[in-house]
């Protein structure tokens, strides 16, 4: 043990006159005691001779020092120690003693000073230190960022709900109304062509259509095509039936409403188109409302969790402050008890 430093005070130090002359100032530690416990749990493995050892961490370590301070600066050093003890605040700590290398902050729990009779400027001391670990700082949340995130998620959900209706759905049947499976239905636009194969019920779905005008027909019967327009802002589904060639298939298509340009679906099935349009608008609104409610619920849940964590951290900080205040009160009491026996400077 050659180095122990409490804040700016070195507890082990020798100062000589002219480096090689008699000792002018001396600080030494005559006794040192380090105490602390580490929690180790052994788990036995059934059916085996060995086991597993689990390290659950350690408690705060305590250190006790007894020593002597002598020299012209002894009085000032002792006074400084008393001031730090009375303040009850954590102070920095350095030491080369085994088991204390990772201790950086300590609190002075006890301090006893006595003047050595017959020796000028010489004092014995007893110093008890406790390792100090700062409490965690509470994290500051930014509710505004949460509101922006919730708003973005709402817009995304609403956009998905609107996009889900940019599609053609329908059914291919023959003259007697029987479904025709495994036939190709084509939607041909100015820049791209989309297609789908009917299932065993004669039904098909063509999704993710870009806004624009499309020719919809069954492969091999292009002359029976219908012109469909997908609006650029709102999309939906509607039904329209196109006759096939005599004796051949008949195509029943569900397509998006057309724009005001060109022939309107109302010319074919005005009542059915109107009903489909109203139903789709209603469904779109319901999906958007559900998305908003979901986002609001998640937001409330997150705010509640943040508030609970904040209260928990505040409680921990409060407990730490109470402990520090208790240490201060204890230091004050000890100081008052020892004032009568402490030599006056």
pLDDT of the chain along its 345 residues, tens only? 688 999 889 998 888 887 777 888 889 999 988 887 777 888 787 877 777 877 777 778 888 999 999 998 889 999 999 999 988 899 999 988 887 878 889 999 999 999 988 888 899 999 999 988 888 877 776 655 555 666 666 666 656 555 555 677 778 887 788 888 898 988 888 888 888 899 998 888 888 878 888 888 888 877 778 787 777 654 444 444 444 433 333 444 443 333 333 333 344 344 555 677 788 888 889 999 999 999 999 999 999 999 999 999 998 998 888 889 888 888 888 777 776 665 555
CATH 2.60.40 in the chain, residue ranges: 161-258
Residues carrying CATH 3.30.70, the chain: 4-43+53-135
pLDDT of residue 93: 92
- Do residues 291 and 157 touch, judged by C-beta distance below 8 A? yes
* Among 257, 249, 261, residue whose Cα is nearest residue 222: 249
Q: Does domain 4-43+53-135 have CATH number 3.30.70?
A: yes
Contact assessment for residue 165 and residue 281, using Cβ atoms and an 8 Å cutoff: no
Bridge-partner residues for 239, per DSSP?
A: 254
If we measure between CA atoms, which residue out of 61, 119, 109 comes closest to residue 89?
Answer: 109
Residue 264: what pLDDT? 38
199 CB burial (10 A radius; 0-12, 13-18, 19+): middle
- CA 286 from centroid of its chain's CA atoms: 32
The answer for residues whose C-beta is within 8 angstroms of residue 51's C-beta and 6 or more apart is: 42, 43, 44, 45
Say how many C-beta atoms besides its own lie within 10 A of residue 79's C-beta: 12
- Please give the pLDDT value at position 273: 56
Asked if 88 contacts 327 with a C-beta cutoff of 8 angstroms, the reply is yes
Pairing of strands 226-230, 212-218: antiparallel
Surface-to-core class of residue 255, CB atoms within 10 Å of its CB (0-12 exposed, 13-18 middle, 19+ buried): buried
Establish how many alpha carbons lie within 13 A of residue 57's alpha carbon, considering only the half-sphere containing its beta carbon.
2
pLDDT at site 237? 45
168 touches 135 (CB < 8 A): no
Planar angle of CA 132, 136, 137, nearest 5 degrees: 125
Residue 238 confidence (pLDDT): 40
What the block records as the tokens of 131 is 């390792």
Both tokens assigned to 82? 């008393």
Q: What is the pLDDT of residue 40?
A: 80
pLDDT at 58: 74
Would you state the CATH architecture of domain 161-258? Answer: Sandwich (2.60)
């Amino acid at each position: 043990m050659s180095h122990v430093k409490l804040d700016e005070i070195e507890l082990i130090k020798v100062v000589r006159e002219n480096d090689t002359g008699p000792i002018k100032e001396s600080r030494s530690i005559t006794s040192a005691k380090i105490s602390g416990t580490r929690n180790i749990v052994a788990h036995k493995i059934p059916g085996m001779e060995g086991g597993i050892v689990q390290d659950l961490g350690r408690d705060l370590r305590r250190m006790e020092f007894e020593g002597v301070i002598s020299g012209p600066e002894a009085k000032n050093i002792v006074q400084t120690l008393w001031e730090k003890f009375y303040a009850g605040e954590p102070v920095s700590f350095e030491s080369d003693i085994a088991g204390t290398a990772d201790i950086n902050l300590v609190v002075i729990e006890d301090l006893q000073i006595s003047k050595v009779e017959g020796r000028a400027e010489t004092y014995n001391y007893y110093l008890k230190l406790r390792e100090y670990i700062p409490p965690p700082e509470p994290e500051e949340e930014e509710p505004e960022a949460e509101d922006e995130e919730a708003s973005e998620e709402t817009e995304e959900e609403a956009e998905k709900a609107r996009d889900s209706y940019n599609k053609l759905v329908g059914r291919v049947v023959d003259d007697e109304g029987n479904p025709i499976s495994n036939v190709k239905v084509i939607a041909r636009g100015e820049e791209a062509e989309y297609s789908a194969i009917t299932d065993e019920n004669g039904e098909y779905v063509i999704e993710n259509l870009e806004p624009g005008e499309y020719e919809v027909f069954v492969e091999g019967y292009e002359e029976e095509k219908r012109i469909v327009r997908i609006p650029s802002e709102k999309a939906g589904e509607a039904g329209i039936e196109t006759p096939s060639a005599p004796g051949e298939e008949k195509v029943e298509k569900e397509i998006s409403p057309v724009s005001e340009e060109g022939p309107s679906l109302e010319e074919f099935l005005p009542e059915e188109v109107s009903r489909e349009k109203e139903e789709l608008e209603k469904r779109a609104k319901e999906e958007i409302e559900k998305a908003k409610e979901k986002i609001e619920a998640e937001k409330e849940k997150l705010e509640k969790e943040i508030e609970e964590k904040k209260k928990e951290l505040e409680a921990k900080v409060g407990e730490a402050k109470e402990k520090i205040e208790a240490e201060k009160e204890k230091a004050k009491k000890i100081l008052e008890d020892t004032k009568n026996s402490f030599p006056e400077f």
